[in-house]
Structure 1
Amino acid sequence: MTGICADRVVVVTGAGRGLGRAHALAFAAEGAKVVVNDLGAGLDGAGASAGPAADVVAEIRAGGGHAVPHGGDIATPEGAESLIATAVDTYGRLDTLVNNAGFLRDRMLVNLTEDEFDAVIRVHLKGHFLPLRYAAAHWRAEAKAGRPPVARVVNTTSGAGLLGSVGQGNYAAAKAGVVGLTLVAAAELARYGVLVNAIAPAARTRMTERAFAGLAALPEDVSPLVVWLGSAANEGVTGRVLESEGGRLTVMEGWRPGPTADSGRRRTPAAAGTTILSLLARSEEPGPVYGAGAG
């Protein structure tokens, strides 16, 4: 097949539905061989089914593409390692990793249980770290063997991780962690030929349809950016967070030094407060937390 990703081997996690499914189909349409990972869990992370991944694989093959399913839990070392091994054993290589898997257990902080917090952190954040860790080890070995990869990683954060979202303390914390992980990975893996970016997508999926009922953007609207970031055509973009909603693309600009004052000596608490208030008066207001205006 021809296309911007012709003959690239791409792994997409959480690819049985929603954004992941759209990404897998878009990569296949551009010539990639795709490993379709999905545990087949419910919206709250419960249960498992081989059906969603198998359905996407069948759809890709019906269109003349190449794909294999993977039903392992990528938030476990065994599942993540087997995911990367599936790509290498089946197609002889790995070129692109798209970390997308996740689920929601929304609660206001006063009602959020430890188990609900841990479960979301586990899948969204640890579920990014482990596949990335095993993919990075593979690419480092390839580079040291004289086969430098043209490798790409696309992580999935969220506006909730950048601005916060009322009722989603666990999800927002996990998605903020994905940004930090992306920045570190981009810096550490550049020497091996790996570019690492994160997207903050806004699209109507089963995860967003209740919280954002009026959202019209589709998962398929996000996938073109993901495919480009995951292709060899992306020759230098790394360590970036990019937002995609419908036809709108935005470069998200994160924390950087703003107004500063240096007294040259330790302040009293009252002086520290006075200084901070004067600096805040000269600083930009942060963006509003999603849902903060809800009654």
Structure 2
Amino acid sequence: MTGRLAGKVAVVTGAAQGIGWGLARAFAGEGAWVVLADQHEDAARARAAELASEHPGRADAVAIDVSDEASTAAAAAAVRELTGRVDLLVCNAGVVRADGVLTQPVADFDLVTDVNYRGYFLTVRAFAPLMVAQHAAEPDAWFDIVEINSKSGLEGSRANFAYAGSKFGGVGLTQSFALELVDHHIKVNAVCPGNYLDGPLWSDPERGLFAQYLRAGKVPGATSVADVRAFYEAKVPMGRGCTPADIARAVLYLVEQTYETGQALPVTGGQVMLP
């Protein structure tokens, strides 16, 4: 077995579709044993079977609702039973409900906060003890937690405040977890992607962000989904949306980097540039 993750166990939440599925495939290609964790258990198991057909014996699936304490604990226990360890935890599960501060239903705000912010905390709290125990047994080994955050965790987002707020909070959690867990040889970082315009989060005809942003009036003058897409493509100096491959490369960089923790790494094609 070869690759940058050879011999490692990687757990990816929200892995049944979109970015999470792209990351799972990339990690398996780099030699990892990948556990796909998703609240849609049947879809996750179908994806795991697809991955196992390409990489025999190196893909499994578990059910998880990241916003539920009992579910995250059960998922961590299931992973421990399946693999015996976790070397890389990627907290990718997330939701978006775009609307303005004057009109967004409280229920939508609560959903985004529960999944993106509370869910990140609960997932780390459930899985980090496995890494702590591994460090006790392997004092020289290092482990990684990576949150898939967003460029909206680095700058505000008009008519999408709930999502941006949850992602800003995620950066705060990343920095705080990094300070606390470094003594156990656990690095904690975040990747802040630009817009994955071809993924279901954006392109779903009813719930996707193109449709949501059009309904919310987020793009002035837009009268169609095509107008919204063109607006967001024009904001990127490199002229395209982010892809799972771009994000996977960033995660692998953070895993390989032995002298970095608590960082929020932009992967935005130049749309967001840190000072």
The answer to whether TM tops 0.5 is: yes
The whole-number CA distance in structure 1 between the counterparts of 2:106 and 2:22 is 32
| Structure 1 vs Structure 2 CA RMSD | 2.0
Equivalent position of 1:133 in the other structure: 125
Equivalent position of 2:149 in the other structure: 157
Contact 1:10 1:35 in 2 (8 A): yes
Q: For residues 1-295 of structure 1, what are the structure 2 equivalents within 5 Å?
A: 1-40=1-40, 50-65=41-56, 66-145=58-137, 147=139, 149-202=141-194, 203-204=196-197, 205-209=199-203, 210=210, 211=213, 213-214=229-230, 215=233, 216-217=240-241, 218-230=243-255, 233-245=256-268, 252=274
Partner SS state of residue 101, structure 1: coil
Equivalent position of 2:220 in the other structure: none
Q: Deviations over 1:140-173 (max 9, x none)?
A: 2333456564210111221222211111111111
Following superposition, the deviation at residue 137 of structure 1 comes to 2.2
The one-letter amino acid of 1:64's match is H
Runs of 5+ in structure 1 lacking a partner? 41-49, 254-295
The one-letter amino acid of 2:15's match is A
Partner SS state of residue 202, structure 2: coil
The one-letter amino acid of 1:89's match is E
- Computing the radius of gyration from Cα coordinates, the structure with the larger value is 1
Using the size of structure 2 for normalisation, the TM-score is: 0.81
Contact 2:62 2:79 in 1 (8 A): no
Q: How many residues align?
A: 241
> Which moved further from structure 2: 4-13 or 55-64?
55-64
Q: Which has the higher helix share?
A: 2
Following superposition, the deviation at residue 198 of structure 1 comes to 0.5
- Counterparts in 2 of 1:128 and 1:117: CA distance versus 1, 3 Å: same
The whole-number CA distance in structure 2 between the counterparts of 1:114 and 1:149 is 44
The whole-number CA distance in structure 1 between the counterparts of 2:52 and 2:169 is 35
The whole-number CA distance in structure 2 between the counterparts of 1:153 and 1:137 is 12
- Counterparts in 2 of 1:78 and 1:250: CA distance versus 1, 3 Å: same
Percent of paired sites with the same residue: 32
Using the size of structure 1 for normalisation, the TM-score is: 0.76
Contact 1:95 1:149 in 2 (8 A): no
The one-letter amino acid of 1:157's match is N
The whole-number CA distance in structure 2 between the counterparts of 1:92 and 1:25 is 21
The whole-number CA distance in structure 1 between the counterparts of 2:179 and 2:98 is 33
Runs of 5+ in structure 2 lacking a partner? 204-209, 214-227, 234-239
Partner SS state of residue 126, structure 2: helix
